[in-house]
Every structure is written in C-alpha cells, then in structure tokens.
Amino acid sequence: MALDSKIPAGPLGEKWTKHKGEIPLVSPANKRLIDVIVVGTGLAGSSAAASLAEMGYNVKAFCFQDSPRRAHSIAAQGGINAAKNYQNDGDSVYRLFYDTIKGGDYRSREANVHRLAEVSRNIIDQCVAQGVPFARDYGGLLDNRSFGGVQVSRTFYAKGQTGQQLLLGAYSALNRQIAKGRVKMYARHEMQELVVVDGKARGIIAKNLVTGEFERHSAHAVLLCTGGYGNVFFLSTNAMGSNVTAAWKAHRKGAYMANPCFTQIHPTCIPVSGENQSKLTLMSESLRNDGRIWVPAKKEDAEAIRAGKLHPNDIAEENRDYYLERRYPAFGNLVPRDVASRAAKERCDAGYGVNKTGEAVYLDFAAAIMRYGEEEAHVKGVNNPSEAEIKALGERVVEAKYGNLFQMYEKITASNPYKEPMKIYPAVHYTMGGLWVDYNLMTTIPGCFALGEANFSDHGANRLGASALMQGLADGYFVAPYTVGEFLSKDIRTGKISTDSPEFEAAEQAVRERTEKFINNNGTKTVDHFHKRLGKIMWNEVGMARNEKGLKQAIADIQALREEFYADVRVLGSANGMNPELDKAGRVADLIELGELMAKDALERNESCGGHFREEYQSEEGEALRDDENFAFVSAWEFTGVPAEAKLHKEELTFENVELKTRSYK
C-alpha cells in the first residue's frame, strides 16, 4: 500500500485553515448515530473524548488505571510551549515551527508541525478558561520560562507539576461529559485487541481488569491515545503500567509503525542506584535554566569522588569542566536533550563520572542561588549582605521555582540539592516514534486514529522540552475532533456496529487463547525477569549509541529471549478475576516484539539524527552526521509475522519552507 500523507495543498500557513474548512461536517442529528472509542485518558485521550462528546458523538473511553486522572501525562513536570509572545522576545508561530523542525533534526513533516505551532496558542486560552492555575507574575499575568533548544521564553508552567494541572483540566472537561452521559467511562479496563471489519477499525476487545472478563465494544472509529513505549527499556521515566499493547495490536492488524528507533533519552534523571530499581525519576529540564552541568576536569578528582574521598564543593572553579558551556557556547546548558545526553555519556565513558557506578554528572545550583540572592538583597534593600544572607535569600527564590523537584530529589537520594550539586544521568523518557498517521491522524487502518505520543507525527528524531504536552492537547482538543469528520461523515447511514460478527468472535478468541497460554504455561521465571533482560539488551545495544554489530546482536538476542519467554514464563493465579501478573505478561510479550522492530529500524537507518546516534556516522568532534540525501524519509514498517522481517515503506519528507542545515548549537 502506498503511503498517502494527505497533506493539503497550498502555502504552509494556510494549509490547516483551508483543510479544516473543507472537512465534511457531520450534522448534530447524525453525530448522535456515531460511536467513537477512545483508548487512554492522558492529555490526548481525555481532551479528545471530552471534545468529541461536546460535539455530539457517543464516546466510550478506556483506561487501565483506577481513574482517568492517573494517566502518565500527570507526571510531566516542566511546562507547555505556546507561541504567545507574551514576553515580547520575538516569538511567533513560525519560530515555534522552525525550532521544532530543527530540534527534531529535520525528520518531521512541515505541515503537521506548523499546525501544531498554530494551535499552540488556543491551548493556553482553553486551559486558562478551564481554570488551570498556571504560574503568574505579580501583575497577575501568565509567566513563562525557557526550555532547551530555543532562544525565547515560551514555556507556560505550573511549578514542576504542569502535566498534572493540564491533565486535571482535561479530566474535568471529561468529567463534565461523563456527568452528562455523553461519555461512558471504563476505568480499570485495558484494550487487548483491535477489531477490524471490512478493512475498517470497528471496535476493541477490552479486559475488565477487576473481574478478568473480556468485553466486546464496537464503534465507528477507534482513537488510540495510549502513550509511548519507553518501558521497552524496563528502566525509564514512564509509569509502571505504560505499555505498547494497544498500538502493537493495531500494528499487527495492519497499522504501520513509524520511526520506532527514535527514542528520547532525557539528560537530567536521577541515576540508577541498584539492581532492584523499578523506575527512574526525571528532574525537569526546566532545572537547566538555572543549573550548570559539570564534571571534574581532572580524572584523579573524579576517581577521588567515586571513592568517597572528595566532596564536589571542594573542587575549585578552575578544576571543573562545564562541558556543555565549553562545547556549545551559544546554547550552553540549554542544548536540546539528545545533545546534552550524549555529552554526558561521552564524559562518563571517558572516566569522569561522579557516582559509584561512574554514570552520573553534576547539576549545580550554587551559582544561581548566589545570583538570585544578590538580586533579592537589592530588591529588599539589604545593604552589604553577608554571603550567608545572600545564600539564604537565593535559596528561597530557587525553592519557589523548583521546590517540589528539590524535595523529590532529596526524598529519593537523601542528599540536599541546596547544599551540594545534584547528580544526574540520562534515562529513557519519551518515544518520538509511534503509529504512522496521515495529516488527519489516521493510521493505515481506516477508522483507527493515533493521537499524542502514540503517533509519530510531530517531533521527528528528537522532541524539544515542553512540546509533548503541547502535542497531546493539540491532537486531542483541536485536531482529531475535526479530522475524524472526513472518515466519519461516510458513516452516517451505517447504523450500530454489531459485536456478534465473526470478526469480534475471532478477536475475542485470540485474546482468550493468549491468556490461557500464560496461565497454563507452568514456567519457572517471573515476567519481570524477562522484562529486565529485555531492558538490558535495549539499553546496551539500542540506547544512546548504536552500531551495526550491536544491533544485529540485539535482534538475535531478542528473538531468543522471546522464545524463552513463551516457553518459561510463570504466571500464577487464574484468568478469572484480578491478576496483575497476567496483565503484565501480555504487555511484556508485546514489548519484546516491539524491541526487535526498534533494533531493525535502527539498523536500517544508516545515519545519525536526533535521538538516533549511530557510532559509524559521526564527525571527528563526535557530533552526529545526518544524511539528508539518503535518509530524509519516515520509515513506516508493515508487520509481516516476524518483527525483524517487517516490510519498509518510505514516506519521503519534503522541505519547502525550511532549509536543511546541520543542526548546530555551538
């Protein structure tokens, strides 16, 4: 099947307005005849379900958590971008568009990204109207801060809990529709299979996680808003339950998976402390506004620190290597995430790491505390303040900005970041890849849409900070509710979709067989045992740096792991009733298959771009070497039975409005 991205004709800035005006409308009376399923209730899912219900469609929404409010969007910390130009620093829709294209290393679609930048402004207006309490300045107007990869202040925030506040806003909009009976909410339900009838997505098989029952749900369209697949690495900043199952089931039924190897490794996370660790915790990128990243300039100092013989505060200024400021003077500590992560890895690999595993660098607030302290002393009219006074004043300013993050750090590490620098290291955080979608956000299965992190569309090979929240809400509030019209307008005479069809029967049967196989397997090893091994393979060979040999090895290792998993996994209990181990087994089975496809995708992409760094393709200075001549395309993979033998379809990327340049932050 040839890929048709359905990008509207016309000048870039007019495409979306024109397209929106031309999408066939479904009359209010007919909307009542149309059912829509929304899977996942994060920013994309909640906002889409609420908006579609407001418009008049009958919506069923599903989440595996006990409440829609708990979806992992809740954990996003730093902020949400919007081209409001409230700071009058020269921001514009075009600049947000350009920064996003460049930040994504020229591997995203111009038209999609421009649309995202356009609607970004509506998102802020919408959220404020909903009562989202963004940070404000003393004049009562909205405050902004800067994020990596840009030179303007366009990030709106609510302390370090922006995701929480935005999600609770979308959750309140969803609640309003649930209360009206326009949305039927199914919490503690997980999608197990997509049902395709006559080539169109017409429903899902969902599992009631409390009773263990399988339920058939039909609809005229299915929206997958199920987030990313970072948990393929076992250790990531994702929630424990985050998984790829919904997207993977769609992939197996014909939806292409695009750029699966584009993974974002976030530079500022709390380093791994031990073998029994279950997840990694992010320290928001906003900290790089004020924190300076460094390692000791002398190897012997690093060794002494690792041995516990030297304290970082005792290292003199001239013996510190602020390597981001050194390598990238123009952007300094605010280079994009992929660049910052690789730079940290480079220093640690060279032997300058600062914790016992040798995999940590410092994020230091001492300079910022003094700077703010002096400012405060000035404002408060304190004459000749002592250093201790300045410090105390500065600490209060830093606390107001990042208090909850500092507290979170201290709880986890038992170290006080006001007094000594934080230790951080890169960790898996976000996946730019996902289900291939056209301009309408429809996958290659008609009627099956993918929104938010679950699709691939806007971030190219690297996502900029504070853009995930923007994309989730853009897709859910302002894009999908309109673009589904093109598909659904043909369904006004279809009538209710029956759940008694052979397709539903077969889908449910397949789910039952899979479940029973796990229960009756009588293996010897736990699900987590296999998940951890998968994670190690992925982190070592498909992580921050990749090469041909390692990727080939990873494919072989994952295939062997998959066989062993099915032969030897042990799941206790029964299929009737609540059984979280059983649910986890199903998720890990899909992550194993996905891991193999990620390695395949990384192997085929013979260039370095964004989060995908192939060791064979780098400059003498260790910077990524992109190959626009041969790889300016989206890799869309068609499932053929074995992930590593998936069929590649290329969507060529054409750039009519920006010039492809080497991404330089120097």
Partner 1 sequence: MDLTLKIWRQAGPEAKGEMKTYPISGVEEDMSFLEMLDFLNEQLIEQGIEPVVFDHDCREGICGMCSLFINGEAHGPGRKITTCQLHMREFKSGDTIYIEPFRAKAFPIIKDLMVDRSAFDRIQRAGGFISVNTSGNTIDANAIPVPKENADKAFDAATCIGCGACVATCKNSSAMLFASAKISQFSLLPQGQPEAKERVLNMVHQMDLEGFGNCTNTGACEVECPKGISLENIARMNRDYLFASLSSNK
For residues 443 and 454, the answer to whether their CB atoms sit within 8 Å is no
Answer yes or no: are the C-beta atoms of 87 and 144 closer than 8 Å.
yes
CB of 148 or CB of 163, closer to partner 1 = 163
Q: In whole angstroms, what is the distance from residue 561 CA to residue 52 CA?
A: 42
Q: Left if phi > 0, otherwise alpha if psi is -120 to 50, otherwise beta: which for 584? A: alpha
Total number of residues binding partner 1 (CB under 8 A)?
Answer: 82
CB nearer to partner 1: give 32 or 326: 32
Farthest CA pair distance, the chain: 83
Q: Which is nearer to partner 1, 328 or 477 (CB)?
A: 477
Task: Measure the CA–CA gap between 394 and 145, rounded to whole angstroms.
Answer: 18
Q: Does residue 67 bind partner 1 (CB under 8 A)?
A: yes
Per CB under 8 A, which of residues 409..468 are in contact with partner 1?
A: 411-412, 414
| Closer residue to partner 1, CB minimum distance, 335 or 585 | 585
Is residue 347 within 8 A of residue 353, CB to CB? The reply is: yes
Smallest distance from the beta carbon of 617 to partner 1, in angstroms?
Answer: 35
User: 609 and 631 in contact (C-beta within 8 Å)?
Assistant: yes
Instruction: Based on the shown chain and the rule CB under 8 A, indicate whether residue 130 belongs to the binding site for partner 1.
Output: yes
Strand pairing category for 200-208 and 214-218:
antiparallel
471 is a contact residue toward partner 1 (CB under 8 A)? no
**CA 302/CA 280 separation, integer angstroms:** 24
**21 near partner 1 (CB under 8 A):** no
25 binds partner 1 (CB under 8 A): no
The answer to whether 403 contacts partner 1 (rule: CB under 8 A) is no
Is 92 an interacting residue with respect to partner 1 (CB under 8 A)? no
Report which secondary-structure segment, H or E, holds 268.
Answer: strand 263-269
96 binds partner 1, rule: CB under 8 A = no
CB of 611 to partner 1, least distance (A): 22
Question: According to CB under 8 A, which residues from 568 to 587 bind partner 1?
Answer: 570, 572-573, 577-578, 580-581
* Nearest CB to partner 1, comparing residues 69 and 251: 69
CA-wise closest residue to 319 among 300, 347, 346, 291: 300
Q: Taking the CA of residue 447 as centre, how many other CA atoms within 13 Å lie in the half-sphere pointing to its CB?
A: 26
Which window, 124-132, 344-352, 608-616, 635-643, contacts partner 1 (CB under 8 A)?
Answer: 124-132
Q: Is residue 322 a contact partner of residue 296, using CB atoms and an 8 Å limit?
A: no
Dihedrals phi, psi of 244, to nearest 5 degrees: -105, 5
447, 487 Cβ separation under 8 angstroms = yes
Show the site string, 202-241: x = touches partner 1 by CB under 8 A, - = not: --------x--------------------------x-xxx
- At position 511, the amino acid (one-letter code) is V
| Radius of gyration in angstroms for the set of CA atoms belonging to the chain, rounded to a whole number | 25
Task: Return the residue of 38, 39, 50, 152 that touches partner 1, per CB under 8 A.
Answer: 50
Phi, psi of 467 (to 5 degrees): -100, -15
Contact characters 151-170, partner 1, x per CB under 8 A: -------xx-x-xxx--x--
User: Any catalytic annotation for residue 337?
Assistant: yes
Based on CB atoms, which residue is closest to partner 1, 144 or 263? Answer: 144
* Catalytic hit among 70, 216, 327, 337: 337
Task: Pick the binder of partner 1 from 14, 89, 125, 314 (CB under 8 A).
Answer: 125
274 binds partner 1 (CB under 8 A): yes
**Smaller CB separation from partner 1, 57 or 613:** 57
Residues 131-150 that bind partner 1 (CB under 8 A): 131, 133-142
602-661 positions binding partner 1, by CB under 8 A: none
Instruction: Report the b/e string of 405-441 with b at 16+ CB within 10 A.
Output: bbebbeeebeeebeeebbbbbbbbbbbbbbbbbbbbb
**Residue of 44, 74, 369, 644 interacting with partner 1 (CB under 8 A):** 74
Q: Report if residue 314 touches partner 1, rule: CB under 8 A.
A: no
Name the pairing type of β-strands 633-638 and 647-652.
antiparallel
Q: Does 246 bind partner 1 (CB under 8 A)?
A: no
Q: How far is CA 615 from the centre of its chain?
A: 24
Nearest approach, Cβ of residue 71 and partner 1 (Å): 8
Nearer to partner 1, 566 or 633 (CB): 566
CB–CB of 339/662 below 8 Å? no
Q: Taking CB under 8 A as the rule, does residue 343 contact partner 1?
A: no
What residues are labeled active site?
Answer: 337
